[in-house]
A and B are shown apart, each in its own frame.
Chain A
């Protein structure tokens, strides 16, 4: 086997090469070539990419159509935003919006723990995982699956957004938590610090991809596919499919939470519209377009769709929503395994052509 062969064949070597290449593009090429404005945008897209990696695992490999990842994204985002808000508020004072709405005179109890970074930062990942674990055990034990699970998870995203909007005095309501000016003491108005945030986001994405790859290639990953395709059969082999599913779902929630936390740092604000049904569905569309069962497809799809959304909504305004829907339908109808399967589909078509001529 030649060296080139070994590099292009699936395996740890090719993975390492791809990983290095991805790191080079994200960490060196992008910061060097993009304007600060574009780099800030890219940081935001990469956050969506992180959510998508988790969805690829839970949905692509595990068959759980997670239409409500906004919940976990939201928990992570609000946990981080609350901390940053408190950190930039002078001691003894309430965060600006609480003073403005005047509904509370004292910091609510559930805000208190987020004052400490040592609590808030782990919470951005662990809290979503805890919620997903409890929910997953409840749902998968009852063998709720397919569309019922999808509807349930989506209803949850809607419920959370409504709850936040309704509690304006303590959550910021529709406006959300805005004007986040510093990131662990670093001024977010300074481009250098914003670039640092971008780099942290990119590293998080690469880390999540590494975790997803390990899970997909492990025995657990094989078991997850088996549960997706024939849960009953797995049960008769002595496994409890509910545990297998809950694990992937919990990991996906953790990634969504991390993405939410980084999103707040990149965008310097969070509001209910960013965690509601619409963004939740947009995550899934990106994953479907990219190729849900592959490692890179979900992230690339989500980043691509997010980038297109910005580019197209600048040019097309509202019409973009319809185009996005159309794109989704096209991919689902003609490329059910997403754009990641395009090379193979085209390859098959090309190979079939000569056969048809000879026969």
Chain B
């Protein structure tokens, strides 16, 4: 167990400050290797900022280790080469390139210059495999810009897979997807987070979380509020208090505390 933690993601006392505003305030976070961790919390809780700090986009203090390597202070592309991949809250793919070209670029960061200057012949094996996994085998030559929203998100996940990332950080990967697409994505992510690869998902969708999360960390105002299994986190009164405020979780409403519920919404909103 301790062994696995050592090889996974280990964040200590992470702080990110924007012009005096503390977006992430001393976060400790351990994600063991092979885990499928959900990172949740109200808007502005600092979820995306943590992903930004881990991937080198935002300046941070503290420590972020993956495996044996310290990531903080390294350049973005070096962190990526160390096996950390991410997606963005709004799907970003290379719209004017085809699906195949998108994946080929993602697969190629290790290519030497001489190979870059030659043309691609055929489909690389890693790309071929992933094309099937992300259900885009029929769309290899389509421009990524013409894909449906859900397909773009899949393409992004596919890019992480061919990139051979060991740690995958996904920022709201199922936003805007249909029910079937969500289930397919969830199943795919479960499959990915199996043994060697660690997956961290930022998500607002509670139903999706309940179905697929193995462990959950709840953030609030830049700090860790609660952590554990889905059941543990849901039972935590602190979490209920925060989530009543955002009124996003239908489950809490379904628990049937209408009167208190309404008061809670107003109360917490003013506070937030």
Chain A residues with CB under 8 Å of chain B are 214-215, 217-220, 222-223, 225-226, 229-230, 232-240
Contacts and interface: CB of A to CB of B under 8 A. Distances in A.
Q: Lowest 10 A-B CB distances belong to which pairs? A: A238-B109, A238-B80, A238-B81, A220-B116, A226-B94, A235-B76, A222-B101, A233-B92, A240-B77, A219-B116
Given A225-B97, A236-B76, 12 more contacts: A217-B119, A219-B108, A219-B111, A219-B119, A219-B120, A220-B116, A226-B97, A226-B101, A230-B94, A235-B76, A236-B77, A237-B85
Contact of A225 (B75, B92, B96, B117): B96
6 contacts: A215-B117, A219-B115, A219-B117, A226-B102, A229-B94, A237-B77
B106 A237 contact: yes
B104 interface: yes
Q: Which DSSP category, helix, strand, loop or mixed, fits chain B's interface?
A: loop
Interface of B: 55, 57, 75-77, 80-81, 85-86, 88, 92-97, 101-102, 104-106, 108-111, 115-120, 159, 163
B117 A214 contact: yes
A226 B108 CA distance: 13
A232 B92 CA distance: 10
B105 A226 contact: yes
Contact of A220 (B57, B75, B96, B117): B117
B55 A236 contact: yes
Contact of A235 (B80, B111, B115): B80
Given A226-B94, A229-B95, A233-B92, A239 B118 contact: no
A214 B119 CA distance: 8
A237 B159 CA distance: 8
A234 B81 CA distance: 12
Contact of A229 (B88, B96, B106, B163): B96
Nearest to B102: A226
A225 B101 CA distance: 10
B110 to A, nearest CB: 8
B94 A225 contact: yes
**Interface centre among A217, A222, A229, A237, by most B CB within 10 Å?**
A237
A222 B105 contact: yes
A183 B104 CA distance: 48
A337 to B, nearest CB: 11
A234 B119 contact: no
B213 to A, nearest CB: 24
A48 B124 CA distance: 40
Given A225-B94, A229-B94, A237 B120 contact: no
B171 to A, nearest CB: 12
A99 to B, nearest CB: 48
Contacts of B80: 235-238
Contacts of B94: 225-226, 229-230, 233
A300 B231 CA distance: 67
Contacts of A226: 94, 97, 101-102, 105
Contacts of A215: 117
A69 to B, nearest CB: 23
Contacts of B115: 219
**Interface centre among A214, A217, A226, by most B CB within 10 Å?**
A226
Contacts of B86: 236
Contacts of B111: 219
Contacts of A240: 75, 77
A20 B64 CA distance: 58
Contacts of B57: 232
B77 A222 contact: no
B117 A218 contact: yes
